């Protein structure tokens, strides 16, 4: 049995996720404590992530804690984890995915379709902006940063007619009642890794990897490996309006991806493929195929 420290952001959702992993490890007989941290991504709220360093701002401080030995593992929302980890770090576990879809949250309007012309929708995701422009090009998109509670408070204070959030976070915090509608994946293709939790460790920590084995969910890991491969090939970051979502039936994996234009100047480019996958390498290769098809579609734009 091990004695582990989990590095985590201090937002309510991040702490829920870390506590969830802590509980599962303790059930196995391990002794586990939390090391709460505030990251630069949590501190910088007046600018979009694409302008201040990307999603890596949410994980850097946690990686420093791992490197210095103050923590043994870090729990992340997988969609916040950069596609390329720094040398000496690895993704040791991907847990079973929650609902991967986007949720519509509003105090006045039951759905996106009910919004009047020119209504204000809050989101700082370029992917969501691009997909929302396809559904409702007449709406006004305004930036929305901060943790989940901050975003909901800004909605409640009347800054937006509605906001779009990940359904998984709302459900994990017992806030599913705030969801007025859930977008189908056909309407709003999710971000790579959305709804899944990833656990990062220092390379060589076989003791931690062994303890995490029973937390891993293989079909989720295969799906998100394909999705993350799309983003990796595309150079995906929060500065790119990119979506990727995979599903697995038996050994057959279907991966869909979309590239949009947050400014609405170009049509949505989509690509899809499917094939058998028996390993993470197979899944990544399938994701790379979709990315190449997507790149070809983007290059063909006028």
Return the active site residues: 80
Classify 220 as helix, strand or coil.
Answer: helix
**120: CB partners within 8 A, 6+ apart:** 139, 140, 142, 159, 160, 161
Q: What angle do CA 290, 169, 141 make, to 5 degrees?
A: 70
**Beta-bridge mates of residue 121:** 141, 162
Rounded distance between C-alpha atoms, residue 14 and residue 238, angstroms: 19
Instruction: Return d(Cα 191, Cα 188) in angstroms, integer.
Output: 9
CA distance 285 to 255: 11
Instruction: Give the DSSP H/E element, type plus range, for residue 302.
Output: none
Q: CA 227 to CA 215: how far, in whole Å?
A: 20
Which residues does residue 258 pair with via DSSP β-bridges, in sequence order? Answer: 243, 270
Whether 283 contacts 222, CB under 8 Å: yes
User: How many residues are given for the chain?
Assistant: 302
Q: Phi, psi at residue 205, to the nearest 5°? A: -85, 70
């Amino acid at each position: 049995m091990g004695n582990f420290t989990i590095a985590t952001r201090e937002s309510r959702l991040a702490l829920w996720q870390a506590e969830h992993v802590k509980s599962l490890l303790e059930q196995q007989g391990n002794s586990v404590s939390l090391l709460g941290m505030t990251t630069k991504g949590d501190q910088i709220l007046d600018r979009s992530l694409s302008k201040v360093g990307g999603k890596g701002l949410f994980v850097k401080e946690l990686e420093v804690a791992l490197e210095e030995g103050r923590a043994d593992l870090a729990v992340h929302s997988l969609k916040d984890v950069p596609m390329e980890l720094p040398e000496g770090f690895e993704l040791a576990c991907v847990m079973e995915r929650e609902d991967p879809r986007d949720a519509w949250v509003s105090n006045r309007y039951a759905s996106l379709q009910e919004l009047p012309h020119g209504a204000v929708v809050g989101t700082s995701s370029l992917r969501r902006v691009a997909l929302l422009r396809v559904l409702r090009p007449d709406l006004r998109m305004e930036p929305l940063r901060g943790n989940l509670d901050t975003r909901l408070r800004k909605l409640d204070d009347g800054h937006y007619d509605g906001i779009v959030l990940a359904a998984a976070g709302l459900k994990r915090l017992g806030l599913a009642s705030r969801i007025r509608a859930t977008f189908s994946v056909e309407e709003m293709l999710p971000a790579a890794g959305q709804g899944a939790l990833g656990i990062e460790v220092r390379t060589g920590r076989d003791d931690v990897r062994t303890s995490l084995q029973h937390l891993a969910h293989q079909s989720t890991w295969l799906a998100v490996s394909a999705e993350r491969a799309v983003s990796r090939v595309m150079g995906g970051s929060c500065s790119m309006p990119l979506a990727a979502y995979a599903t697995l039936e038996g050994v057959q994996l279907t991966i869909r991806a979309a590239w949009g234009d947050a400014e609405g100047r170009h049509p949505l480019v989509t690509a899809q493929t499917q094939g058998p996958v028996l390993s993470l390498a197979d899944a990544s290769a399938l994701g790379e195929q979709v990315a190449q098809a997507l790149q070809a579609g983007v290059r063909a734009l006028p």
